[in-house]
Amino acid sequence: MTDIKFKFIGFILTAAFFTNAAFPQCEINVGKGEAAEQWTQDFAMNEPGKGLAVADGPTLTGADTTVSLLLPSGDTAFFFSDSFIAEYPEKPGDGRIYLNENGLRMRRPNCLPPICGQAPEHVHYVYNSIVVRSKDGKTHRTLTGPKDKNGYSTAFFHPKTEDQNAMYWLGDPILMDVDGKKKIWIFLNEWSVGRPFDKTFWIKYRGQAIAQMDAETLELEKIVDLKNKKDEAVWGISLWLDEANGKKDLYIYGMRNEGDIPNAVSSNVAVANKYKKLYIAKVDANKGLEGVTDLKNWTAWDGSKWNRSLTKRKSLIPEADSISDELTIRRLNINGKPTFVMVTFDTGKGYSEWRDLYLYSACEPQGPFTNKHLFYTTPTAGLKKFDGMTAGQSLQTGLSVYNPHMHPQFTTDGKLLISYNSNLPFGAKPGDSIYADFYRPRFVWVPIEGLEK
Task: Identify the H or E element spanning 3.
Answer: helix 2-22
By residue range, what is the domain housing residue 72?
A: 28-447
Looking from the CA of 16 toward its CB, the CA atoms found within 13 Å total 6
Report yes or no on 85 lying in a domain. yes
Residue 399 in this model has a pLDDT that exceeds 50: yes
Instruction: Report yes or no on 246 lying in a domain.
Output: yes
| Cα-Cα end-to-end distance for the chain | 55
Residue 18 pLDDT: 39
Residue 401 has pLDDT above 90, yes or no: yes
Does position 427 have pLDDT exceeding 90, yes or no? no
CATH number (domain holding residue 306)? 2.115.10
Q: Does residue 20 fall inside a structural domain?
A: no
**pLDDT category of residue 351 using cuts at 50, 70 and 90:** confident
Report in angstroms the alpha-carbon separations of 157 from 168, 325, 417.
Answer: 7, 20, 27
State pLDDT tens for residues 152-162.
999 999 999 98
Q: 3-class SS at 325? A: coil
**What count of other Cβ atoms lies within 10 Å of the Cβ of residue 204?**
11
CB 112 within 8 Å of CB 122: no
Mean pLDDT score across all residues of the chain: 93
Whether residue 424 is contained in a domain is answered as: yes
Position 13 pLDDT exceeds 80? no
Give the whole-angstrom CA distance, residue 16 versus residue 24: 11
pLDDT tens-digit series, residues 259-282: 999 887 767 777 788 999 999 999
pLDDT in tens, 210-255: 999 999 999 999 999 999 999 999 999 999 999 999 999 999 999 9
Percent of the chain with pLDDT over 90: 82
Does 6 reside within a domain? no
The winner for highest mean pLDDT among 198-207, 258-267, 431-440 is 431-440
Residue 7 lies in a domain: no
- The pair phi, psi for residue 331, each rounded to 5°, is -90, 115
Cβ-contact 157, 168 below 8 angstroms: yes
Q: Are 292 and 280 in contact (CB under 8 A)?
A: no
Q: Do 189 and 234 contact (CB within 8 A), yes or no?
A: yes
Average pLDDT over residues 111-122: 86
Cα–Cα distance measured from residue 443 to residue 374, given in angstroms and rounded to the nearest whole number: 16
Note the pLDDT of residue 51: 98
Q: Where are the beta strands (DSSP E) in 165-248?
A: 166-178, 181-193, 203-214, 220-225, 234-242
Specify the pLDDT at position 117: 79
- pLDDT at position 429 is 82
Ranges 112-126, 139-153, 317-331, 346-360: which has the least confidence: 112-126
* 399-417: average pLDDT: 98
pLDDT tens-digit profile of 99-108? 999 999 999 9
Starting at the edge strand that comes first in sequence, how are the strands of the sheet with 299-301 ordered?
A: 234-242, 249-260, 274-284, 299-301, 306-307
Burial of 279 (0-12, 13-18, 19+ CB in 10 A): buried
Instruction: Give the pLDDT mean for 417-441.
Output: 93
Q: How many domains does the chain have?
A: 1
The kind and range of the H/E element at 345 are strand 337-345
DSSP strand pairing (140-143 vs 166-178): unpaired
Checking if the pLDDT of 199 tops 70, the result is no
Taking the CB of residue 198, how many other CB atoms lie within 10 A of it?
10
Question: What single letter denotes the amino acid at residue 410?
Answer: F
Spatial separation of the C-alpha atoms in residues 111 and 369, rounded to whole Å = 46
Q: Does residue 296 fall inside a structural domain?
A: yes
What's residue 273's pLDDT?
A: 85
Cis peptide upstream of residue 338 (ω within 30 degrees of 0): no
User: Using one digit for the tens of pLDDT, what is the confidence trace for 31-86?
Assistant: 999 999 999 999 999 999 999 999 999 999 999 999 999 999 999 999 999 999 99
The span from the CA of 333 to the CA of 325, in Å, is 26
Longest dimension (CA), the chain: 90
CA 437 to chain centroid, in Å, comes to 19
Neighbours of 86 (CB within 10 A): 26
Q: Is the peptide bond before 368 cis (omega within 30 degrees of 0)?
A: yes
- Residue 13 belongs to a domain: no
Asked whether 176 and 248 are in contact (CB, 8 A), the reply is no
Do residues 443 and 39 touch, judged by C-beta distance below 8 A? yes
What pLDDT score does 87 carry?
Answer: 98
Asked if 93 and 187 touch (Cβ cutoff 8 Å), the reply is: no
